[in-house]
Amino acid sequence: MNKLFIARLVGLALCLFPAGLAWAAPEQGEGVNVGKPSMFRNLVPAEMLERQAVQQYADLKRQAAAKNALGADSHSQVVRLRGIADRIIPYAAKFNPRATAWKWEINLIGSSQVNAFCMPGGKIAFYSGLLSKLKLSDDEVAIVMGHEIAHALREHARERLAKSELTSLGASLLGQRIGDGRYAALFEAGGSLLNLKFSRSDESEADLVGLELAARAGFDPRAGVSLWEKMGAASKGAPPQWLSTHPSGQNRIKEIERHLPEVLPLYEHGHNQTIPR
């Protein structure tokens, strides 16, 4: 794709979605500075993507329940996860005011996978393999949860789908699609939100926002270092960084350590507190 074509697409996006329509970036002050969210996400309706997330999350729960793999409300790990989420979620609105209206859910899926996710609209799932294989502390669980919630707050799924659409459609076709409200093809192309891959920059941004969310909720952000040490030990033999969309564990640890001075004061202030400041 040539530079002129890309410039035209960007210009179209700016014309269709002026900056005033986007929610404001978090005010600079205490905590991390990740700047404004991508303008490209405005090419995809948030409400439609969140409805799709609700449907896919419900399908996932039904499939897990059919296999007796959906953690019961009384399961000790479900209670634990929801308790941690209850402390983190009140701080989410700083990074996305829409989060106050989301119907948050968190569930445990019985699986050997070392994985977790948060879909658009606050639909969270942890796989039991992540907890059992890595033997995560509450602080480490909070770092993982904050990271996954950060993807939803920063609307990385909307951004990924929008950029995919921009690269696959001509400017005139894109204008027609937006003008007529025809988004079905975009979601067909996007496929399952569970399989959506984020970029390295998305992952790095989610690391930082997740650190702040965990710290504000009173969880030790230094657990990000031990978490990625455990991840590295569990993923020996994984491809090098340049073959992956994710930053390598060592690079993530270095970035976490570099930003700890920004979030440790929040942790000290929020430790043992559950009421947002």
Catalytic residues: 148
What 8-state DSSP symbol labels residue 245? S
Question: Which residues is 109 bridged to in the sheet?
Answer: 70, 127
Q: Quote the CA–CA distance of 223 and 39 in Å, as a whole number.
A: 32
Question: Are residues 117 and 148 in contact, defined by beta-carbon separation less than 8 angstroms?
Answer: yes
What is the Cα–Cα distance from 48 to 57, expressed in whole angstroms? 14
Q: Which amino acid is at 178?
A: I
Q: Three-state secondary structure along 155-212? A: CHHHHHHHHHHHHHCCHHHHHHHHHHCCCHHHHHHHCCHHHCCCCHHHHHHHHHHHHH
Per-position DSSP letters for 218-233, written without gaps between them? T--TTHHHHHHHHHHH
In which region does residue 102 sit, left (phi positive, over 0), alpha (psi from -120 to 50) or beta (all else)? beta
